[in-house]
Amino acid sequence: MADDYIRLLLLGDVIGKPGRRAVKRFLSARRAEPLAPHLIIANGENAAHGFGLTEKIVNEFLSMGIDIISGGNHTFDKKEIFDFIDNYPNVLRPANYPPGTGGQGVYVADVNGFRIAVLSLLGRVFMEPLASPFLTADQIVSDLAGHADAVIVDFHAEATAEKVAMGWYLDGRVAAVVGTHTHVQTADERILPGGLAYITDIGCCGPLNGVIGMELRGVFRRLVEQLPSRLEIAGGPAAVNGVTITIDPGTGKAVSIVRESFKESEGDFQDDTEAAGDDDGEC
């Protein structure tokens, strides 16, 4: 790829302290590479002990070199977010929340004069009954005309079909639609005919030895014993999952999408399994 192309690194849902620890290690190496990303985007809705986001963790992410933090259905799990989200325009919540909701759903970043808009949307199938993400995307993409040279969509959704539909729906109008939320990286990355980079889910950044990041005992209590249980972050090594998308600044379209994966090994870290309520930042 020509070196004047724009490279974006998008990281899946970062889960608690283990996820942040692995992301920090991964980015310290990734940012030093000759073809380092120009812009780094991470989904942060699970960053504070698996549920929500704190201001301390926002600043921890920014210190790692993460430029934009996207959201999802757990964005507002920590009530303190209402005290700071309006001070961080690069911390997104889904754009299809009702008018008047704190924060914003889109952010435009400047990369060497090339304007990249990142749009956060929440799906509706098996999720909260928000405004249509499709119609919300229509309106925002239209509003961005003349204000952004490329648009990247983080579609935080449960249903595969809804994500696939969004990719085809926006093909030719935005540069990428990447799925988040299900925490398992899919192998269906592709460039659609209109120049849109698509993947159903970019995966998560979190513990390997759990159920989508959560400790086994609590999950088994819910699924096997059918009893209520508090879910805690799993211990052990963590993984980082995401994608690198390359955009041609001449067209604003994607020319490649490549899956990223990094795994800690056993003994490669100090086990810092969190106690409930203790994880307010600093991995």
Task: Give which of 176, 82, 168 is closest to 120, Cα–Cα.
Answer: 176
How far is the C-alpha of 173 from the C-alpha of 253, rounded, in Å? 9
Backbone dihedral region for residue 183 (phi beyond 0: left; psi -120 to 50: alpha; all else: beta) = left
CA distance 150 to 152: 7
Give the Å distances, CA to CA, from 150 to 42, 135, 138, 281: 18, 19, 15, 32
Task: Look at residue 216 and give its three-state secondary structure.
Answer: helix
DSSP string over 60-124: HHHHHT--EEE--TTTTSSTTHHHHGGG-TTBB--TTSPTT-SSBSEEEEEETTEEEEEEEEE--
Catalytic residue among 38, 49, 74, 183: 74
Q: Is 49 a catalytic residue?
A: no
How many residues make up the chain in this entry?
A: 283
Q: Select from 53, 54, 6 the least CA-distant residue to 256.
A: 6
**Active site (catalytic) residues:** 74
